[in-house]
Homo-oligomer: A and B are copies of this chain.
Amino acid sequence: MTVTIKDVARRAGVSPSTVSRVLSGHPRISAETSRKVKSIMEEMGYHPNIMAKSLVSKTTNSICIILPKPAEELFSNLFFMELIRGIVTQASRSGYDVLISSGATEKEELEAVSRLLKGRRVDGAILLYSRKDDAVIDFLKDNGYPFVLVGRSDKYDDILSVDTDNMLAAYDATSHLISMGHERIGFVSGPPNLIVSRDRLEGYRKAMEHNGLELKSEWIVEGEFLQDSGYRAMSFFMNLPSRPTALVVVDDIVSFGVLRGLNELNYTVPADLALVSFNNIPLSELSTPPISSIDIGIYHLGYTASQILIQTIQKQANEPGCTNRFIIPHRLIVRESSMYSPGKK
């Protein structure tokens, strides 16, 4: 039924080894044989069996993306699609296939990963935004599997990772508001177990301190990466006796929730409350008003993660002393939501 290397060999009057060598561009194959075998492969419609190849070479030319545990919430985010797009594009350029894996629980997730890696179905893994203490990282590290973390681990600093400098990004976002004349600035954070939430919070704190501004604990609220969290944060802030005049918000989606709430209460942005958030998803510029956002180059993050992982798998970049933390630069996109100086009121 399917045509194998042996069929080609028989038809070409050579041995299977020769065909295999033609396939892999072995130097000691005569030009003539190579030409003949290739034309016969073409003619017979030969396609190498990837499984057989993998079995003997112990390499699969594929990697997997491990989606974070609460995939149901986060997955539907534009953010992840963009990341995946970057990964898939780069991997495909390097001749690698990409497998998507997710599990409902941490246990399931670990099972999936261990099945894929131990079962030798993939050569390495890309982890998207791990929690503070991540069993999957421990698993990968303990077993010496190649992997790259998109994000940052606070437990290990010797693992390969691609990340935004979230502390600096939050520092920049906050500084921007301060430079616009804001002094009472609040912060809407994400789940406290995500490192990204903590880093951004820290950057906000530093910026406030460096500028000698008061850091009220009631001006910091935690939530999820969901619009509802923004909605709730907004009502909390607006009911405060002493309210902030501006907000740094941990994610654009959350900003949408804030915006909707303010809208319902007939407040206007940025006059009543200025906003800056993170990730610059395509819709940030479409909302009314458009939201100022820190663009973190999501596609680029994914692209780079894939590149580094594949290099590692191919052992091209394993020189000790090499850097293992790659920072993708961010930049602030100023839009209407932060174009207001409270001093000029």
Say yes or no: B119 contacts A76, CB within 8 Å.
no
Say yes or no: B100 contacts A98, CB within 8 Å.
yes
Q: List 7 A-B contacts (CB under 8 A).
A: A2-B118, A55-B55, A98-B101, A227-B282, A256-B286, A263-B288, A288-B288
Say yes or no: B81 contacts A77, CB within 8 Å.
yes
Chief secondary structure at chain A's binding surface? helix
Interface size on A, residues (CB 8 A): 52
- Cβ proximity bits A41-54 to B, threshold 8 Å, 1 near / 0 not: 00001011111101
A26 close to B (CB within 8 Å): no
A341 close to B (CB within 8 Å): no
Say yes or no: A102 contacts B92, CB within 8 Å.
yes
Complex formed: what's the CA distance from A62 to B64 in Å?
13
Say yes or no: A98 contacts B99, CB within 8 Å.
yes
Say yes or no: A99 contacts B102, CB within 8 Å.
no
Say yes or no: A85 contacts B97, CB within 8 Å.
no
Complex formed: what's the CA distance from A282 to B55 in Å?
44
Say yes or no: B89 contacts A81, CB within 8 Å.
no
Residues of B within 8 A of A45 (CB): 118
Among B76, B88, B119, point to the contact of A102 (Cβ < 8 A).
B88
Q: From known contacts A47-B114, A256-B286, A282-B76, infer whether A84 and B55 are also in contact, taking CB-CB under 8 Å.
A: no
Complex formed: what's the CA distance from A81 to B66 in Å?
15
Say yes or no: B60 contacts A51, CB within 8 Å.
yes
A78 close to B (CB within 8 Å): yes
Say yes or no: B76 contacts A85, CB within 8 Å.
yes
A80 close to B (CB within 8 Å): yes
- Cβ proximity bits A255-269 to B, threshold 8 Å, 1 near / 0 not: 011011001000000
Add 11 more A-B contacts to A62-B99, A99-B99, A259-B286 (CB < 8 A).
A45-B118, A51-B51, A51-B55, A51-B120, A76-B85, A80-B81, A81-B84, A89-B102, A92-B102, A97-B121, A98-B100
A283 close to B (CB within 8 Å): yes
Which 3 interchain pairs have the tightest Cβ spacing?
Answer: A47-B118, A81-B81, A50-B119
A82 close to B (CB within 8 Å): yes
Say yes or no: A92 contacts B97, CB within 8 Å.
no
